[in-house]
């Protein structure tokens, strides 16, 4: 087989990439209430669902602030305690701060993590938070078969809806997602996917001949960078977040934009880091025409304003009662 034939064989099963997107002419619109910038605050709630021999896993979780190696099959109690800080202390410190700004965050939630902490379920329900599926447990789908992925999506969705009494409209796979992810979401009544970081506003992608809504996320204005050695101080988080906001806010005078702020209770919940988030939120709140937006409401808005008639599960989003539109 010549080189061109080999290339064709290797790429024939890969869906085409869209490297153009909206290009130089993004859609002209206004967010609800005339807002020009939608800011979505996300709490990734994973504590207790990470890999551990306690749950029958062969190995322990590898993403941790201070890694210490233990023999295979052995619990790492120190690692477990770093995650427990998020569910014991960090989540409450973070929610208290968001309450001060009247922000009801979106939860990217692992169902098992919520099962293990009913008080957190009660808190998010009380605040009217929307819940995006993040897996039954916090594990990557890249090593699962399509059938295993589908089972995880369905189990997570069923349990989150049982626990919260709210619809699970969106999904965020622990990266990396797979070539099967979007098809499996469509087949499991999921309205929108958050597994891309390639735009500043939502868009549609073709899945099995029908458009599926993508509401993109962000890993740069994200506290996990503390654990990855890319941020050290609250000031660095604050300054980076402010810079992102200032650019998006300036651009949004002509073209409305969306900003995601990704948070983890075990990370940003540490006292020295929370101050950076507080200062960032205060900076954002000091500007007009900003919508602190629930992600479900961003999805509903986009489906209503731009959704093709045959968009996947559009009727499900329309049928669900809208929640509070968020603070402006």
For 288, which DSSP code?
Answer: S
Least confident of 54-63, 78-87, 89-98: 54-63
pLDDT digits (tens, 9 = 90+) for 250-261: 999 999 999 999
Q: Which domains does the chain have, with CATH numbers?
A: 28-319 (3.20.20.370)
**Cβ contacts of 141 within 8 Å, gap of 6 or more:** 135, 148, 149, 152, 173, 174, 177, 178, 181
pLDDT at 67: 79
| pLDDT of 10 over the 70 cut | no
Residue 321's pLDDT is: 52
Residues contacting 194, CB < 8 A, separation 6+: 108, 132, 170, 171, 172, 214, 215, 216, 217, 295
Predicted confidence at residue 71, as pLDDT, reads 83
Asked whether residue 12 carries a pLDDT value surpassing 60, the answer given is no
Q: Which of 11-20, 45-54, 257-266 has the lowest mean pLDDT?
A: 11-20
**Taking all residues of the chain, what is their mean pLDDT, rounded to a whole number?**
91
Summarize pLDDT for 112-138 with one digit per residue, the tens: 999 999 999 999 999 999 999 999 999
Percent of the residues in the chain that have a pLDDT greater than 70, as a whole number: 93
Q: Kindly state the helix (H) or strand (E) to which residue 37 belongs, with its residue range.
A: strand 37-45
Distance CA(13)–CA(257), nearest Å, equals 33
Query: Crossing angle, helix 271-285 and helix 91-100, to 10 degrees?
Result: 20
Q: Which of 19-33, 54-68, 259-273 has the lowest mean pLDDT?
A: 54-68
pLDDT recorded at residue 231:
92
- Residue pLDDT, tens place only, 148-174: 999 999 999 999 999 999 999 999 999
Q: Are 211 and 310 in contact (CB under 8 A)?
A: yes
Contact, 40 vs 259, CB < 8 A? yes
> 21-30, 61-70, 277-286: lowest mean pLDDT where?
61-70
């Amino acid at each position: 087989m010549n080189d061109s034939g080999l290339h064709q064989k290797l790429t024939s099963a890969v869906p085409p990439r869209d490297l153009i997107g909206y290009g130089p002419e993004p859609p002209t619109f206004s967010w609800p209430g005339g807002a020009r910038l939608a800011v979505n605050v996300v709490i990734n709630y994973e504590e207790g669902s990470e890999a551990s021999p306690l749950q029958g896993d062969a190995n322990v979780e590898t993403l941790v602030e201070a890694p210490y190696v233990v023999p295979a099959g052995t619990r790492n109690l120190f690692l477990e305690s770093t995650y427990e800080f998020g569910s014991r202390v960090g989540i409450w410190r973070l929610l208290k701060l968001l309450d001060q700004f009247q922000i009801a965050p979106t939860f990217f939630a692992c169902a098992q993590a919520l099962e293990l902490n009913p008080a957190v379920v009660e808190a998010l329900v009380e605040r009217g938070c929307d819940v995006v599926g993040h897996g039954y447990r916090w594990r990557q789908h890249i090593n699962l078969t399509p059938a295993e992925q589908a089972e995880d999506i369905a189990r997570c969705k069923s349990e989150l809806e049982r626990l919260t009494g709210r619809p699970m409209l969106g999904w965020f796979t622990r990266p990396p997602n797979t070539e099967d992810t979007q098809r499996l979401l469509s087949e499991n009544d999921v309205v929108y996917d958050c597994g891309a970081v390639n735009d500043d506003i939502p868009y549609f992608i073709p899945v099995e001949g029908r458009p599926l809504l993508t509401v993109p996320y962000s890993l740069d204005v994200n506290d996990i960078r503390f654990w990855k050695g890319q941020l050290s101080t609250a000031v660095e988080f604050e300054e980076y977040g402010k810079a992102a906001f200032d650019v998006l806010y300036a651009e949004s005078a002509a073209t409305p934009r969306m900003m995601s702020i990704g948070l983890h209770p075990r990370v940003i919940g540490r006292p020295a880091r929370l101050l950076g988030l507080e200062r960032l939120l205060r900076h954002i709140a000091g500007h007009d025409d900003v919508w602190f937006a629930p992600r479900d409401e961003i999805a509903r808005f986009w489906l209503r304003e731009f959704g093709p008639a045959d968009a996947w599960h559009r009727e499900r989003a329309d049928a669900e009662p809208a929640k509070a539109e968020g603070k402006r």
